[in-house]
Structure 1
Amino acid sequence: METLKIGRVQLTWLAGGITNLDGGAMFGVVPKPLWSKRYPPNENNQIELPTDPILIQMDGMNILVEAGLGKGKLSEKQLRNFGVTAQSNVDSSLKQVGLNPEDIDYVLMTHMHNDHAGGLTKLEDGFYKSVFSKAKIITSAVEWDEMRNPNIRSKSTYWKENWEAIESQVIPFGEKWSLGALRMYHTGGHSNGHSILVIEDEGELAIHMADLMPTHAHKSPLWVMAYDDYPMDSIAAKEKWSTYALDKEVWFTFYHDAFYRAVKWGADGQIQNSIKRIK
């Protein structure tokens, strides 16, 4: 498993599943000759998109960023439609670092779409149960409201199977939430309640842009997904946080990138340093 340290904060990527989605949808109006050079598709025009949570360990706490795709919850049709080539294996990943799901203190959800929230619950004896039963689950109040009351567009990805069993664990926040070196900010964009995570400790900085920047190839503020509910908000948030990071040595971390776990870009826009995903 790949790791990264931000000051005293340890990050470890877990195995949360793999989807393969249409490349055109993932890059919106960007022409294929441009995006395919940076993120090559398969013969079906799909691009590989892991759904790998990040385990954060700091101050004696175990914190997850996102929950993975889940396991044993999708039908054969759904597995096919989402191009799933691997379901979640978070339990085994946690065991490799000496932990169990019950050891997780917090789960930070940038948003609650199924490919992020599916791993929050599991199906046992015909009932859905919480996977991280002792954790506080943090997400924006806007996201939590829409999760339970989706609109005609969002109901395809906000499922009651992912929230009913964990409802008592959820702690929604307004515009900002913080814990030690961690800060979450509500941005909107990809979803109305979407948030990002900033990690800052001992002069080091990482920004987890979540689905505003799902892969390294989405660095440009204008390269946003057709899946974004509010693309202009996505662009504004990417511009804001790119400006914030401009003169800093910032790691950008990823949940969906098939090639990199984290990258640092130089002033010329080229990758200066990186942690590659081991396949």
Structure 2
Amino acid sequence: METLQIGQTKITWLNGGVAHFDGGAMFGVVPKPLWSKKYPVNELNQIELRTDPMLIQKCGLNILLDTGLGSGKLNEKQVRNFGVKEESTVELSLQMLGLTTNDINIVIMTHMHFDHACGLTKWKDDQLISTFPNAKIITSSIEWEEMKQPNIRSRNTYWKENWEAIERQVTTFETSTLVTDGIEIHHTGGHSDGHSVVILQDGGETVVHMADLMPTHAHKNPLWVLAYDDYPIASIENKQKWLKFGETRNAWFTFYHDVFYRGIKWNDRGDPVERIERERE
């Protein structure tokens, strides 16, 4: 498992599963001859995407950033359509670190689309229960309301199976919130109306996690936004804002979906100067 240490904050990427989404949808209006030079595509026009949560350990807290695809949460049609080749083994990843799901204190949800939220619940004795029963689950109030009452477009990704069992654990915020010293969540909208980014600061270093505003390193161009984005102009504006925020601080930009990199530092010319590569078999 790859790690990143800034000050007293340690980040470890867990195994949340792997899917394959349509490349055209993942790059929106960008022509395929352009995006396919930066991220490989298969014969079905799909690109490989990780769904790997980040375990953030600081001040004695175990904080999970998003939760992966879960296990046994998708039916055969969904597995086929989403190109799922591997389900989540987050519990095994935690076990390798000497932890269990009971040790997670906080779960930060950047948004609650199924590929980020399926890991919130799991099956036990034919019932869905909370995967992290002792955790406070934090998401934006806008995201939480749409999760419970999706519209005609979003109901395909906001599933009751991912929220009914954890409702009592959820706490929401409006604009921004401080999780603990040096860890903040900021509502952005864009990808979804309630989408948020996460900022970590410790020891004079900064990590910017833009979630699905920048799901992979190939999405760095502010104009390269997803066809899945509900509010693409908000995505563009917030990508510009948080890219500038990070680059002026020599920040790490970290990824949930990237199959090649866990994190990258870019200089003010947009050139990568440091990388954390994902270990590939």
**Fold match by TM threshold 0.5:** yes
Q: Which residue of 2 aligns with 1:242?
A: 243
Q: Which residue of 2 aligns with 1:274?
A: 275
1:58-100 CA-to-partner distances (Å, cap 9, x unmatched) read 0001000001100011111110011000000000000111000
Q: TM-score, normalised by structure 1?
A: 0.99
Q: How does 1:22-171 map to 2 (within 5 A)?
A: 22-171=22-171
Q: Which residue of 2 aligns with 1:2?
A: 2
Indicate the percent of aligned positions where both proteins have the same amino acid: 60
In 2, distance between residues paired with 1:243 and 1:100? 37
Q: What's the offset of the Cα at 1:241?
A: 1.0
Q: What stretches of structure 1 move > 6 A for 4+ residues in a row?
A: none
Q: TM-score, normalised by structure 2?
A: 0.98
Residue 200 of structure 1 aligns to a residue whose secondary structure is strand
In 2, distance between residues paired with 1:270 and 1:39? 17
> Conserved in 1, the CA contact under 8 Å of 2:207 and 2:246?
no
| Structure 2, gaps ≥5 residues long | none
In 1, distance between residues paired with 2:74 and 2:85? 12
Q: Does 1:19 align with 2:22?
A: no
Q: What's the offset of the Cα at 1:245?
A: 2.2
Q: What's the offset of the Cα at 1:210?
A: 0.1
Q: What's the offset of the Cα at 1:211?
A: 0.2
1:155-179 CA-to-partner distances (Å, cap 9, x unmatched) read 0000000000000000011101112
Q: Which residue of 1 aligns with 2:228?
A: 227
In 1, distance between residues paired with 2:275 and 2:71? 30
Matched to 1:221, the amino acid is P
In 1, distance between residues paired with 2:43 and 2:271? 28
In 1, distance between residues paired with 2:227 and 2:134? 36
- Compute the RMSD of aligned alpha carbons: 0.7
> Conserved in 1, the CA contact under 8 Å of 2:68 and 2:88?
yes
Residue 275 of structure 1 aligns to a residue whose secondary structure is strand
Q: Which residue of 2 aligns with 1:209?
A: 210
Q: Which residue of 2 aligns with 1:253?
A: 254
In 2, distance between residues paired with 1:141 and 1:247? 30
Q: What's the offset of the Cα at 1:230?
A: 0.4
Total equivalences in the alignment: 279
